[in-house]
Structure 1
Amino acid sequence: MAFFGYNDAKTLVGVDVAIYDYILTHETNIPLMHVRDLATGAHVSNSSVMRFVQKMGYSSFPEFRIAFHKQSLEASPDLESGVQLLTAETFPSTLQRDLDTVAHRILDANNVIFTGTGSSANVAEYASRLTSTLGVNSFPVTDPYYPLIPQLKQTTKNVLITLSVSGQAAEVLGMLRQFQNDPTVTLISITGHRDSPIAKLSTTVLTYHTAERRIHGHYDLTSQLPAMTIVEALARTIRRQAQLPHH
């Protein structure tokens, strides 16, 4: 996507080029990122990112993110608006029943871990923050080689929730297999493929239907909106089951 227009892009120099190139190759992640995430990914400073954002005509990073996401949706040839990503066919009729089951397990758990890689890692971090706000002892693991077994060694009620559109992420799958016969860990997945390897390892699968999109063979443009919708529905279900007040 030629964001900002070609005439603006060709005038960029120095660190701005690195930031611009990173944005173009991580389009689906940008709406979920913070300034420090973009700075780390592009190997520049936070202040360099903010100067870049201001050069592009935006007063803040959130304003930039919203504008970028809007243009991404408008540039998609088969979508008239982002609303079309969610239809009656996106989620199965059993979703709320499964959400109730997962919410119950979460409220009964000592630890809740959300994990994923790529753009799913951003959703995992969001899910962890959202459920932590509800009083759940939750944390994200976005490194599939993180030493999770020692951390859970002295605990008995753990819920490990994996986010993966394809349900086939090899590194994540390797981590999950370490827990598949562990009675202290309940495996749950949020995935676009109910018959995937990750889903088959899970006790409960929160599933959805979405078209996977890639460019240049490996850059993933698949929408994370269905997964985000499930995460937010799960948070509402947790709040209802815990009878937390609405404000």
Structure 2
Amino acid sequence: MALFDYKDLSTLSDIDLTIYRYINSNSEKVIYMRVRDIAQNAHVSNSSVMRFVHKMGFSSFPEMKAYLQNITNHESLMPPLKFIDESNFPKDISNRLQIVTDLLYQADNIILFGIGSSGFLAKYGARQLASIGFNSSSVTDPFYPLESRLQNTSNTVLLCISNSGTTSEVLGFLNGVVNNDDVKIVAITGNETSPLALMSDYSLCYVEPDYRIHYYFDLSSKMPALYLIEALIHILFARIDK
């Protein structure tokens, strides 16, 4: 397969043809290589490789590599993107979102809680809710004295975000408020049978495997949880915007 749209190979020098044949035979490797790697493997000079790049009509070596990546459709360079769809959520997710939206709409206080990467979602969700006029805040410290803070408040909704729903620090944090009648707990979790979901009054669940490396580092996708947070915000905004 000819990789370059070059009409007349007979005009190429012997060195150019050597580089051409090497790249043509090793296109899947070349997209990872440097100029000097190609030069060394093709037994030519670095300057010869760059002259060949320009002769092929590219302004730079990275531009040529991008071209090779596209035409060879190299799948291992970037894993296929998996976008969430209905299969990531239970069939009654719309009803659950409406119920939780009603809770949030009537709440005097909304607190979003998460630790680690879920803490970033908590901060984001709290900021977005505040932007549309709700009294919202985030907590990312599992040792935060939430019980003391809630002593002079009522009608609070605590949105707790955890993919596994089993993190001991998260469960310990909830133990202090689970019996508080003025607090409704909503779990956003990837495990509907987790202790977090069972401790909560309501749960917004999704399907996403818990993926960790070195035990502590959570690489699980946060897209489903983010989608649910976004859905709540947009439903609430549509209600107050009427």
The one-character-per-residue Cα deviations of 1:61-120 (angstroms, maximum 9, x if unpaired) are: xxxxxxxxxxxxx867xx411xx2413310112111111111111111111000011100
Counterpart of 1:170 in structure 2 is 168
Counterpart of 1:240 in structure 2 is 238
Query: Given that residues 208 and 226 in structure 1 are in contact (C-alpha distance below 8 angstroms), is that contact kept between their aligned partners in structure 2?
Result: yes
Query: Given that residues 112 and 158 in structure 1 are in contact (C-alpha distance below 8 angstroms), is that contact kept between their aligned partners in structure 2?
Result: yes
2:179 to 169, 181, 199: 181
Counterpart of 1:216 in structure 2 is 214
What TM-score do you get using the length of structure 2 for normalisation? 0.66
- The 1:184–1:85 alpha-carbon spacing in structure 2 relative to 1, beyond 3 Å, is same
The alignment yields a C-alpha RMSD, in angstroms, of: 2.0
1:191 to 189, 200, 207: 189
- The answer to whether structure 1 residue 129 and structure 2 residue 127 are counterparts is yes
- Give the Å deviation of 1:180: 1.4
Higher relative contact order (CA 8 A, sep 6+): 1
Where in structure 1 are there 5+ consecutive unaligned residues? 8-73
- The 1:135–1:75 alpha-carbon spacing in structure 2 relative to 1, beyond 3 Å, is farther
Where in structure 2 are there 5+ consecutive unaligned residues? 1-31, 35-75
Counterpart of 1:87 in structure 2 is 85
Instruction: Output aligned runs, 1:149-168, within 5 Å.
Output: 149-168=147-166
Query: After TM superposition, where is structure 1 displaced by more than 3 Å over at least 4 residues in a row?
Result: none
The one-character-per-residue Cα deviations of 1:173-225 (angstroms, maximum 9, x if unpaired) are: 11111111111000111000011001101111000001222223432211111
Instruction: Output aligned runs, 1:4-83, within 5 Å.
Output: 79-81=79-81
Q: Which residue type is aligned with residue 209 of structure 2?
A: A
The one-character-per-residue Cα deviations of 1:135-179 (angstroms, maximum 9, x if unpaired) are: 110000000111111111111110011000000111111111111
Give, in whole Å, the separation in 2 of the partners of 1:186 and 1:225.
24
Give, in whole Å, the separation in 1 of the partners of 2:85 and 2:97.
19
- The 1:232–1:6 alpha-carbon spacing in structure 2 relative to 1, beyond 3 Å, is farther
Instruction: Output aligned runs, 1:195-206, within 5 Å.
Output: 195-206=193-204
What SS class does the counterpart of residue 119 from structure 2 fall into?
A: helix
Instruction: Give the share of equivalent positions with the same residue, in percent.
Output: 34
Structure with bigger gyration radius:
2
Query: Given that residues 104 and 241 in structure 1 are in contact (C-alpha distance below 8 angstroms), is that contact kept between their aligned partners in structure 2?
Result: no
Give, in whole Å, the separation in 1 of the partners of 2:103 and 2:216.
35
Give, in whole Å, the separation in 1 of the partners of 2:134 and 2:236.
9
Q: Which residue type is aligned with residue 137 of structure 1?
A: N
What SS class does the counterpart of residue 187 from structure 1 fall into?
A: strand
Give, in whole Å, the separation in 1 of the partners of 2:188 and 2:200.
10
Give, in whole Å, the separation in 2 of the partners of 1:161 and 1:152.
15
Query: Given that residues 125 and 140 in structure 1 are in contact (C-alpha distance below 8 angstroms), is that contact kept between their aligned partners in structure 2?
Result: yes
Give, in whole Å, the separation in 2 of the partners of 1:183 and 1:216.
39
Give, in whole Å, the separation in 2 of the partners of 1:219 and 1:6.
31
Give, in whole Å, the separation in 1 of the partners of 2:145 and 2:213.
33
What SS class does the counterpart of residue 130 from structure 1 fall into?
A: helix
